[in-house]
Amino acid sequence: MARVRLENVTKRYGEETAVDDISLEVEDGEFVTLVGPSGCGKSTTMETVAGLTRPTEGRIYIGDDDVTTLAPKDRGVAMVFQNIALFPHMDVYENISFGLRLRKYDDEEVRRRVEQAADIVQLEGMLDRMPAEMSGGQQQRVGIARAIVRNPDVFLMDEPLANLDAKLRVHMRTELQRLHRELDATVIYVTHDQAEAMTMSNRIAVLNDGRLQQIAAPLTCYNEPTNLFVAGFIGSPSMNFAEGQLVENGLETNNFTVNFDPTQVPGVTVGDDVTLGIRPEDVHLTRFAETVGSPTDPIGARTDVLEPMGDEVFVYVLLSEAATGSMEQDPATSPNQLLMSVTPDTDIEANQEINVVLDRSKIHLFDTATGDALVHGITDLSDRESGTTPTEADS
Amino acid sequence: MSDPRDSTDPTDAGDTETEPPRDPTLRRPDGGAVLEDDRDAELDRGPFQQWVADSISNPERVYRAMFYVAAVFFLFTTLFPFYWLLMVALTPEGQLQDIVFTPNGFNPGAFVEVFQVIPFHVYMFNSFVIALASTVVVLVVASLAGYAFGRLDFPGRTPLMLLVLVISFFPPAAFFIPLNDLFNTSFFFLEPITGDGTLYNTPFALVTPLSAIFMPLAIFILTTFYSQIPDGLEDAARVEGTTRLGALFRVIIPLSAPGVATAGVLTFIAVYNEFFFSFLMTDGQPENWAPILDGILAYQGQYQVMYHLMAAASILGVIPVAILVVIAQEKIVSGLTAGALKE
């Protein structure tokens, strides 16, 4: 097992920059997920670690060795692929033992290790099957067995669950976590599914446009996103955003005003454009305002569409009469809509006049121009002295 | 759903739909009788007219008939010369006039005599070695080229591929004079291999130009096959511990078995059947690596042509290729059905 360190890794294909100056460090035994929308460079980043792609600039270290120019086979990494990539002309045993046989292990040792690996991924008795005769989940387990059998320093997993159906995906998610705990292995995992990233990782590295946006523990990314992109990407459904302007006694958007002391927000002054971010679960009906630590003034609104999910209900809230609740716009980015989540027993129906409050301590403020987070959680003007101190965003 | 004809029960639906009113006295307004089906027409038509009517209503029959006609014609034009060759081979020497469809006499000994008059087996061996060596050279080099053209992205790939294909369209005769001159030139570094330092009268004089001539086709076939192997498989092999070359030989080539077999068989047959270079690059002596072609022509003396032996030798020369095609066909088919990839 070993640490992995990327130093200013950049990969350019002609004019296009797929990976732009990424530096990150994965500790020994850590499970780090690279997450981002498609085309953000997360797979390319992983390929540079695997050695399948050579970075244009920057260096890569595994353990204490500079592996930037080493061939994949000499790096001590194993990889699990999105398209599973089992060798179709070999049976399960040959697939799993491929790497061991190349390294000229003796037959006895190969058999022992293959059986042990098959045991871990629960493939006993299937060693003589051909990949084509197996289900997707079984095939991916063979892929994982092929990776663990060599006892590599680092596991690289490139969307290993993407080709599985939803139910199997959730099951394999827990299996991978169990595997990580059992093997105590260093894992770099690539996915575009933020739920996978949230549930499995020790730390998440959020990528966009080839750049590293934030690398932190899942809950830190969720509660203290460093910029608008991370705030919108992590969490499902995503955070509500409302653009506004900083005024003398708080923030004014087109539809509502939030009172706070603008001097407590570092880096901006009155008159600057600021975007407010609030997660659906931090929007509350006014009648529950007492349960909220520091509610804002009530905001008049009308419910539009209800989405009962079973454990909660998502309510699309129209903030102004002008808003038609158009389908074209994502509620997160539409200036006149809010998405609110309420408990299923809440007495609420579509097209109903309501008042909502926001939880001040859960409000995020972002600089509209740069997208950088300014502050997570704000305090009321009145209880400025006694209130909780806001967490300042790391810059 | 109260209407019984709307019932989804298949038997009900069948009853109501497949029973059109069939009234033999049905008349059209112009007084003509309506032909209800073919059975009415059968009464006043001859067999040919009947066949035409059936064909119009059922064109598949015509297509099938045309297929059989074409197949029989093709088989006849291909196989009759072989039959004729067999007749000539079986006819004893001196009775070759007036062979129609059966041999004049029966002399299977010609197939043995072939080897007694001249060492025909040596010619066969030479041909085999030359064809096999060319096939190996072509497959190895074309595999590397096919990998580069099919799986790598490099500047000038398309122009280079076009150049390879264009060269394959040149007439081989265009290369002959410079090559013959080259192969008759003595090089000191070849002396340990060929004795006199020239390539003339060695298998290299045939293997070199013939591999080059049949290489583009093999490159083209293999490029197509190799480019279809998913990148993930090659990546997996490389992470597991092979080099790029190792991945080519352990994963890509086995998965492209049908393509490799096709390229190999085509090359082998083409070299084995080649006339021009085979005729000119040796002096025709069996000890100088002359191929089958020279063997067959060797039955042609100054005063006498032993047609029956030439025919027997020709048949013997065809047999290895025929066997190869039969075996390879099975391999190609099994390769195709086994090559199911998950992508």
DSSP single-letter state for residue B301: -
Which amino acid appears at position A96 of this protein?
A: I
Which one of A54, A67, A73, A97 makes the best mutation probe of the B interface by having the most chain B beta carbons within 10 Å? Answer: A73
Give the whole-angstrom CA distance, residue A26 versus residue A46: 12
- Which residues, listed in sequence order, are joined to residue A285 by a DSSP beta bridge? A356
State the pLDDT confidence band at A386, using cuts at 50, 70 and 90: very low
Helices (H) and strands (E) in chain A — how many of each?
8, 22
Average pLDDT in the A263-275 region? 84
The reported pLDDT for the residue numbered B13 is: 43
| Mean pLDDT of the region B282-291 | 88
The fraction of chain B above a pLDDT of 90, given in percent, is 34
pLDDT at B29: 58
Task: Write out the DSSP string of A240-307.
Answer: EEEEEEEETTEEEESS-EEE--GGGSTT--TT-EEEEEE-GGGEEEGGGGGGSSSB---EEEEEEEEE
Residue in chain B nearest A88 by alpha carbon: B341
Cα torsion at A39, A44, A45, A47 (round to 10°)? 150
What pLDDT does residue B258 have?
82
All domains of chain A, ordered by start, with CATH?
A: 4-232 (3.40.50.300), 237-392 (no CATH)
How far away is chain B from the Cα of A68, in angstroms, using its nearest Cα? 15
Give A82's contacts in chain B (Cβ within 8 Å): 232
pLDDT in tens, A84-106: 889 988 999 999 999 999 999 99
As a whole number, mean pLDDT of residues A209-233 equals 92
- By C-alpha distance, which of A395, A358, A356, A355 is closest to A375? A395
Q: Which of B225, B239, B260 to mutate to test the interface with A (most CBs of A within 10 A)?
A: B239
Contact A78 B237 (CB under 8 A): no
Q: Are A171 and A92 in contact (CB under 8 A)?
A: no
Q: Do B238 and A71 touch (CB under 8 A)?
A: yes
Residue A190 confidence (pLDDT): 94
**pLDDT number for residue A382:** 55
Structural domains in chain B plus CATH codes: 110-338 (1.10.3720.10)
Interchain pair B342, A89: CB under 8 A = no
**Of B93 and A232, which is predicted with more confidence?**
A232
> Closest Cα of chain B to A87: distance in Å?
7
In degrees and rounded to multiples of 5, residue A113 shows phi and psi of -70, -35
> Could you say which residues from 197 to 236 on chain B have a Cβ atom under 8 Å away from some Cβ of chain A?
230, 232-233, 235-236
Vertex A346: Cα angle to A344 and A350 (nearest 5): 95
How many Å apart are CA A240 and CA B148, to the nearest integer? 50
Closest CA to B342 of A28, A249, A171, A142: A142
- Between positions 242 and 271 of B, the ones with CB within 8 A of A are 242-243, 246, 251, 254-255
Answer yes or no: do B240 and A98 touch at CB < 8 A: yes
Distance, CA of B171 to CA of B169 (rounded, Å) = 6
Looking at per-residue confidence, does B209 or B15 come out higher?
Answer: B209
The predicted complex's ipTM stands at 0.81
In this structure, of A289-293, B60-64, B207-211, B315-319, the range with the lowest mean pLDDT score is: A289-293
Average pLDDT over residues B227-232: 88
Q: How confident is the model at residue B4 (pLDDT cuts 50, 70, 90)?
A: very low
Check if the beta carbon of residue A250 is closer than 8 Å to that of residue A381.
yes
Q: What is the pLDDT of residue A286?
A: 87
Beta carbons within 10 angstroms of residue A224's beta carbon: 21
Place of tokens 């990539």: A85
Crossing angle between the packed helical segments B231-240 and A92-102, to the nearest 10 degrees? 50
- Gap from A224 CA to chain B (nearest CA, Å): 37
Residues of A with CB under 8 A from a CB of B: 50-52, 71-73, 77-79, 81-89, 98-99, 102-103, 131-132, 139, 146, 150, 156
Task: Inform me whether the pLDDT recorded for A218 exceeds 90.
Answer: yes
Q: Is the CB of B232 less than 8 angstroms away from the CB of A99? A: no
Reply yes or no on whether the pLDDT at B175 is more than 70.
yes
pLDDT in tens, A278-330: 999 999 988 888 888 788 888 888 888 889 988 889 998 888 755 454 544 55
Q: pLDDT for A61-79, tens place per residue?
A: 998 889 999 999 999 899 9
Sheet containing A353-358: give its strands across: A283-285, A353-358, A299-308, A313-318, A337-342
Read off the pLDDT band of B69 (50, 70, 90). Answer: very high
Q: Which residue of B has its CA nearest to A143?
A: B236
The per-residue pLDDT of chain A, averaged, comes to 86
Residue among A73, A84, A146 whose CB faces B243 most closely: A73
Other beta carbons within 10 angstroms of residue A236's beta carbon come to 10
Query: Which of chain A's residues have a Cβ under 8 Å away from the Cβ of B242?
Result: 73, 102
Instruction: Check whether A8 has a pLDDT greater than 90.
Output: yes
- Residue carrying the six token digits 């520091």: A294
Determine phi and psi for A117, rounding to 5 degrees. -65, -40
Distance CA A365, CA A274 (A): 7
Q: Which residues of B touch A89 (CB under 8 A)?
A: 254-255, 338
Alpha helices in chain A (DSSP H): 42-50, 92-102, 107-120, 136-148, 166-183, 194-200, 218-223, 228-233
Distance from CA of B147 to the nearest CA of A (A): 16
Q: What is the pLDDT of residue B304?
A: 83
Closest-CA residue of B relative to A104 is: B241
- Name the burial class of residue A108, with classes exposed (0-12), middle (13-18) and buried (19+) by CB atoms within 10 angstroms of its CB: exposed
For residue B255, give the chain A residue with the closest CA. A89
CA distance to A28, A316, B90, B170, B330, per residue, from B309 (Å) = 80, 95, 9, 36, 33
CB contact under 8 A, A87 and B237: yes
Q: pLDDT, tens digit, for every residue of B118-158?
A: 999 999 999 999 999 999 999 999 999 999 999 998 999 99
Q: Is the pLDDT of residue B46 over 90?
A: no
Confidence of residue A389 (pLDDT cuts 50, 70, 90): very low
Residues of B in contact with A72 (CB under 8 A): 235, 238-239
Q: Which of A52, A102, A156 sits opposite B241 (nearest CB)?
A: A102
Q: Which residues in chain B have Cβ-Cβ distances shorter than 8 Å to A87?
A: 233, 236-237, 251, 255
Region of poorest pLDDT, from A268-272, A389-393, B301-305: A389-393
- Among the partner-chain residues A52, A88, A103, the one whose CB lies closest to the CB of B241 is A103
Least confident of A240-244, A267-271, B334-338: B334-338
The pLDDT tens digits of the residues spanning A161-207 come to: 888 888 888 888 888 888 898 888 899 999 988 888 998 999 999 99
The Cα A153–Cα A29 span in angstroms is: 9
A252 exposure class (CB count in 10 Å sphere: 0-12, 13-18, 19+) = middle
Read off the pLDDT of each residue in B251-256 and give the average, rounded to a whole number: 90
Please check the confidence at residue B67 and state whether its pLDDT lies above 50. Answer: yes
Q: What is the per-residue pLDDT for A59?
A: 94
Inter-chain touch B236–A87, beta carbons under 8 Å: yes
pLDDT at B30: 60
Measured in angstroms, the CA of B261 and the nearest CA of chain A are apart by: 16
pLDDT band at B96 (very low <50, low <70, confident <90, very high): confident
Which of A77, A86, A102 is the closest to B242 by Cβ? A102
Closest Cα to residue B216, out of B286, B162, B295, B285? B162
Q: Compute the mean pLDDT over every residue in chain B, rounded to the nearest whole number.
A: 82
